[in-house]
Amino acid sequence: MKRIPIVGFLPVMAGILTVVAMSCLITWGKDAPPLPEIKVQTTPVNRDVKLGVSFAPVVKEAAPSVVNIYSTHIVHMRSFPNPFFNDPFFRQFFGDRPGPNDNREITRREQVLGSGVIVSPNGYILTANHVVDGADEIKVVIGDNDKKFTCKVVGTDRQTDVAVLKIDAKDLPAITLGDSDQLEVGDVVLAIGNPLGFSRTVTMGIISALGRHGYGINGPGGYEDFIQTDAAINHGNSGGALVDAEGRLIGINTWIATSSGGSEGIGFAVPINIARYAMERLISGGKVTRAFLGVGLQDIDASLAKFFNLPSQNGALVTDVSTNTPAEKAGIKSGDVIVEFNGKEVADRHSLQLTVSECAPGSKAVVKLIRNGRVQTVNVTLGERPKDEASDQNESNNSNPDNAKADALDGVTVSDLNSQSREQMKIPDEIKGALVTDVDQDSNSAEAGLKQGDVIVEINRQPVVNADNAVKLCKQAKGDQILLKVWHYSGGLSGSRYLTVDNTKKDLKQK
């Protein structure tokens, strides 16, 4: 199954353009304009009304707000000489003129086909970031008469795949924004866009699911809470409108899951509430600032809920607390379970991340957590999420060091950390514990998720000093489960997580 953005690529040779429109000037305005006038309706659709025989009135209301976007990427490449033309026999026919395969730079235009939505009468347009990202030239066409406008890119937010454009115009047919928090699975939706170059195409479906996340579409640290729909969307629909049965914008179409490259009834859109948050901050400040706590989080399964004496599996388990962060200053600790944030219940790690991201940096929040079975409340002054740094993508060498010492758990061999293993596996100096050098794939440990290269930093809430200490703590463990806290580095990302290992088959014999 492929996961692909729903833009269309139209390669065009240099100097040839298939669509006539004025190009966008890609700039970031320093003087932030006031927020535009945007129509918003937060009431849910009337679900008591039976479906009629036509959605034509809805389409007439919403379709004029959808625009075509053509962004051009200028690709510079070199052609290399063909030895064929170096042969004197052939040069007598072709002479010394430059041939098509001479070593020279050639320029080619590659065109990305996408869509956008007018959200204000004075010319603000919402689209997907990947439609305009890295473009050298952008063109916008509005209406059936191919009305042309010069525009600029106000700002982009890769973490939500949202971009904002601005054209110099008045009295445009701006769409009404809905409230994506009011959506329900089964609601009828219409997708309007520019698929495969067919301007303002409308397809109908329902909301298949809500809150889809964990696909990595928006990159490391991205925010995902996608609306899933079976309304047919294809290449060119990226940045187009997903509207409800009353014609209100409830999502920006962004990507499809497909095995064929075309629509298979599994499409995704960014909820309008997330897009609107990013849009307003891009317009007012040129960038999107988000709050952060400074913690690592993981979801809670039945074993963890039992071990941490929790009433349910709801909440987000804190695995790490970074130094000098709002969480550390507020006294939040590893092993705490956050169950409520500013009066809003926390269902899981994902819901907490989204809730925090919607807060303003510097604002105060009340956090309810469970620590050692007891409910506590702490007050946090949220910080500003730092800009993500580039990650080192080099893979670590997970070969077994020579100093492998002992079987610590069922099917697990551990060793001490040393300078060589820290360098190979990118383990920071502040991480203490025992390095997992081997895991039997048929063991309870492997079934629990323990992997070669993990560093066991805690066993049953006790810190691990070295390999011998890990073996000792395992021998002392009572009960059917052992709680581990492990640190791991993979694919440029690092962090800690908790897991529980079945303790009924452990083998603690020294090698």
Any idea which residues carry the catalytic annotation?
A: 130, 161, 238
3-state DSSP of 155-179: EEECCCCEEEEEECCCCCCCCCECC
Pairwise CA distance, residues 459 & 474, whole Å: 7
| Cα Rg of the chain, angstroms | 28
Return the HEC string of 197-265: HCCCEEEEEEEEEEEECCCCCCCCCCCCCEEEECCCCCCCCCCCEEEECCCCEEEEEEEEEECCCCCCC
Cα 242 to Cα 250: distance, rounded to the nearest angstrom = 6
Owner of token pair 């506590």: 376
CA distances from 152 to 29, 117, 138, 273, 324 (A): 9, 15, 9, 23, 39
Query: HSE (CB half, 13 Å, CA atoms) of 405?
Result: 15
Query: d(Cα 331, Cα 308) in Å, to the nearest integer?
Result: 19
d(CA 203, CA 221): 32
3-state class of 329 per DSSP? helix
Under 8 Å between Cβ of 383 and 359: no
For residues 8 and 320, give the distance between their C-alpha atoms in angstroms, rounded to a whole number. 41
